[in-house]
Structure 1
């Protein structure tokens, strides 16, 4: 099953999916660009639905303004399935003292948010979001990933990984898969377009993990032209069934409905046609529909 915010759904009901995005996101390191407006979130979700979208996976983890209370209403209003996340991001994204407070009980927090509810809500998370560092895994990242592995083994929930500038994905697999025995099919490696090393991507695919690409990205615009080439290299090597694509809208400015864009609709209005022209409709269907249905399915 897939754990959406209004209840568990069969994988074949997920539909056309933005596999990595944010309806709500708030951190002290990005003042003035918070995603914290419910009406704007509804407008962006409606715009995505108008482009053909049916599901959005919100990777916003614990402590960064997920607005779990608002997610069921947005899903009901728009008809778009939403998946929420537990987990923990890089330490510097949180207020002073927050990480030290929650670190000793992370596995307990993750498990509760996956099985009981987020905060005072009855909204349960559908994935565990963690984060690596730039080319290395620091002690914080390793602590969080160990807690994530514990929660995964207790629930079967998938683990989604923020890779700083697309790096250290091999180190993540060394830890989560080789050391902590998380099945590679339960690991989603994010932001790989930000480090467009096609040979490196092939080596990750060979290890059995999901490969998630974001596009477009204001913070990493220089890598956008490489996105389709990276997808093509993996598809040509037989890994079209391991690819995911998301918008990763992290600021109010980047929204399509209420900001400067391009926002979530860009995935389907612009990138999907490019993928179809370059790689064919079958690969596009895999990236947006059949792959997410498998990647976000819980396995025990």
Structure 2
């Protein structure tokens, strides 16, 4: 059976993803980021066109439920720019929602995620292609346990990959203990985001050794002092045998983030000198094709 990735225009063979920004945002809105919304369709289209002109082909948007995903716009953007776009279901940290919204959805999260993965987001007909959840700073709090438990149930019913925001890059092993240990999700279907924001080589290697996919996404607006370590972190993980588990993303979270064009215009040449073209091509092309493919269902 050919592995498939679920884009906003439908399922495609995973091998068609091409050069992939594995973690980004075209649209995003949160009460935690007042006045810094990503909501302009033309600016989103411009970023996609710039990315395409630099050789990019696919963008995985990690914006989950209730955060202004722009689901009604994603299909037309994908079609008009010629890029593949993957949308997300899931739920972020509680700080990104009102209490009223959390109260409405908390008891039916797994069903909500499954519906958005299989039927569509609202009335748009656009189906999500991954489940986004989030840990807390150095821990898995009650909200994270709730959302990750729902994500695991939805994964078993659909095969969708699970993407995890690690707060400042922390709690990776706690997340894996819950998702892969207690909840039984196969680690190759778990993508850990923001590993570079806590440049702890031991934890990175342990997470890779457990079988998870490691996403290095930025540059980090709040933690830029860690960005310069990226080449050596990737090289160390590749030298340890984990080159097939690495991803790169732009993670545009506010309008001034350099995001997806920066990933290919500035970061790619730097990393090619450090890692070599063969490994970098694997990180940008081959690894995302595996990481975002749907797995078997329970």
Secondary structure (helix, strand or coil) at the match of 1:100 reads: helix
2:172 and 2:203 in contact (8 A); partners too: no
1:24 and 1:67 in contact (8 A); partners too: yes
Matches within 5 A, 1:1-300: 1-254=4-257, 262-300=258-296
CA distance in 1, matches of 2:29, 2:93: 13
Gaps of 5+ in 2: none
1:176-235 deviations in whole A, cap 9, x for unaligned? 001111000000000000000112111111000000001211121111111111111101
CA distance in 1, matches of 2:269, 2:241: 21
Deviates more, 1:16-25 or 1:270-279: 270-279
2:218 and 2:259 in contact (8 A); partners too: no
Secondary structure (helix, strand or coil) at the match of 1:39 reads: helix
**Shift, 1:263, TM fit:** 2.4
CA distance in 2, matches of 1:5, 1:111: 15
Secondary structure (helix, strand or coil) at the match of 1:33 reads: coil
Gaps of 5+ in 1: 255-261
CA distance in 1, matches of 2:151, 2:82: 30
2:216 and 2:247 in contact (8 A); partners too: yes
2:250 and 2:263 in contact (8 A); partners too: yes
CA distance in 2, matches of 1:34, 1:253: 11
CA distance in 1, matches of 2:214, 2:110: 25
CA distance in 2, matches of 1:17, 1:291: 9
**Once superposed, what is the RMSD of the aligned Cα atoms?**
0.7
1:125-151 deviations in whole A, cap 9, x for unaligned? 000000000001111100100000000
Number of equivalent positions: 293
1:47-72 deviations in whole A, cap 9, x for unaligned? 11111100000000000000111001
1:62-86 deviations in whole A, cap 9, x for unaligned? 0000011100111011111000000
TM-score with structure 2 setting the length? 0.97
Following superposition, which runs of at least 4 residues in structure 1 exceed 6 angstroms of deviation?
Answer: none
TM-score with structure 1 setting the length? 0.96
CA distance in 2, matches of 1:11, 1:73: 21
2:37 and 2:254 in contact (8 A); partners too: yes
CA distance in 1, matches of 2:124, 2:131: 17
